[in-house]
Structure 1
């Protein structure tokens, strides 16, 4: 899993930061998911290595413009990419009406299947590799955060034990790895549990929309390998942040600490702060959560395995 930040500004773009969008690469032939699509997101994609025909799912946190004004253009442009298959779009109630209105008035047509899912809290998507959960956050309008959990993978084969038992390498190794017990040619039974280590836990990434500090933010970030949290304002501006339904960098650090997250990356940073100010903001809250960093546009990072 790899995270790519395509837009990290709050409210409006700056010369160096576009409005919100985050891509999550899943390690399957450059396939990726997109979280929010502020205006200009497709331009950011063009400047990256990501291709729209590899985009499988889009998750919108809420219906404020800096999180979805880039969506109609991105969806339309995707039709021009060869091999663009079906796409699922998840978002709060109202996302379907927004897309339908944009396409109707512009007479846009897609050359692929678009499945729009208006979500409620809970598990919203599952496949063989991942589970996606959503919970409501506290913002000026209805807003969600997402938690992506990678499913566990089988443990490592104990090669020494296999050698002692005389199991020949080949298809039998694969069966044991998949959890199947086997019988060898001489009738000896070998149980998978005897030669395969415990399952390896999958990774967890939590990507939150705009929010003030709340219990659901902690739940989404619980023990996450990476928590992506907004930090619109600097520490000391908590009253202003609360009035606008946002968080300070100290709020984000507090949520990460309470959740037991392993790593915190803050984004959605007000245009009032330049790079030097952002660096100071981060240093000021390392006493709350040391493993914190601020994203910038085109910043990429791997989600480390446990």
Structure 2
């Protein structure tokens, strides 16, 4: 999986940072998959600076309905339609997202020429297609807000073809069934269990992407043991009380969550516009004092999961 940050500023854009949006390229060998998490104003403009096209998007996940996470959505939906794209798109988000999409399209005299489904989520599993599962948990913010945990299902182990041949099983269609862990009957009447010839399953990748939040129990559930955690760090540690009063986290709180949850890598984003490049270096230093394997995302930062 590849994560591409399209916007990393909190509240308002700056000269160097747009407001929140993240692309997740699943890079699945057969099904592909391009997902967008949040869609702040100007997201479609940011996409123009990448190799990705809006028509390739098949899912959009909105964390909450504050404008810096949402106001780019109507334009993106309309541009996708005007390009003549017919690929279906599903939007997930909190209560009110369906009304927002329907109202903005209706009042602007706009429409979509592709199948569009809008699903309003609650706490729990959002979907599971057999390859990936997405779980949502409510966060601590003034409006209904969610974080998302993306889990890739474990991949089957490698089939030991040499051992099968040594046991008298000839290569052919049976190998494919055995690779799926099935039990098959050979021509001589023997029963062969594919599980006996498979190596251990390959663990799938895990990723947690947070909306805006002050520390809360749901955050620990989302973050537990993930390969990469994307978390806001709106303000420095000295302004922690102010951050929390507005439903945000400080650098230290984001890093402490990563440490306590046993994540492998922390990416902090959603940086207040009060911080220039020097200020951002200080934010990152504060995070690394608590959790060393941490990066502060810039617009167009790419992270492999």
TM-score of the superposed pair, with normalisation by structure 1: 0.95
Instruction: Pick closer, same or farther for the CA change 1:173–1:276 going to 2, 3 Å.
Output: farther
1:198 maps to which residue? Answer: 200
**More displaced 10-residue stretch of structure 1: 265-274 or 177-186:** 177-186
2:156 maps to which residue? Answer: 154
2:39 to 37, 51, 64: 37
1:26 maps to which residue? Answer: 26
**Cα RMSD for the two superposed structures:** 1.4
Map 1:110-189 → 2, pairs under 5 A: 110-189=112-191
For 2:162 and 2:238, the matched residues in 1 are separated by: 58
Instruction: State the shift of 1:299 in Å.
Output: 0.8
Is this contact kept in 2: 1:5–1:23, CA < 8 A? yes
SS at match of 1:285: helix
Instruction: State the shift of 1:57 in Å.
Output: 0.6
Answer yes or no: is 1:271 the counterpart of 2:273.
Answer: yes
Is this contact kept in 2: 1:52–1:81, CA < 8 A? no
1:295 maps to which residue? Answer: 297
Is this contact kept in 1: 2:84–2:113, CA < 8 A? no
Instruction: State the shift of 1:82 in Å.
Output: 4.4
Answer yes or no: is 1:14 the counterpart of 2:5.
Answer: no
Listed one character per residue, the Cα deviations across residues 186-214 of structure 1 (whole Å, up to 9, x for unaligned) are 33332112100222221111100000011
Instruction: State the shift of 1:30 in Å.
Output: 5.2
Listed one character per residue, the Cα deviations across residues 150-192 of structure 1 (whole Å, up to 9, x for unaligned) are 1111111224422321323332221111111223333333211
2:263 to 261, 264, 273: 261
For 1:169 and 1:214, the matched residues in 2 are separated by: 54
Instruction: State the shift of 1:284 in Å.
Output: 2.6
TM-score of the superposed pair, with normalisation by structure 2: 0.95
For 2:92 and 2:286, the matched residues in 1 are separated by: 36
Q: How many residues align?
A: 303
For 1:139 and 1:123, the matched residues in 2 are separated by: 20
SS at match of 1:238: helix
Is this contact kept in 1: 2:86–2:115, CA < 8 A? no
**More displaced 10-residue stretch of structure 1: 291-300 or 176-185:** 176-185
Instruction: State the shift of 1:47 in Å.
Output: 1.0
SS at match of 1:287: helix
Is this contact kept in 1: 2:254–2:287, CA < 8 A? no
Instruction: State the shift of 1:83 in Å.
Output: 4.3
SS at match of 1:107: coil
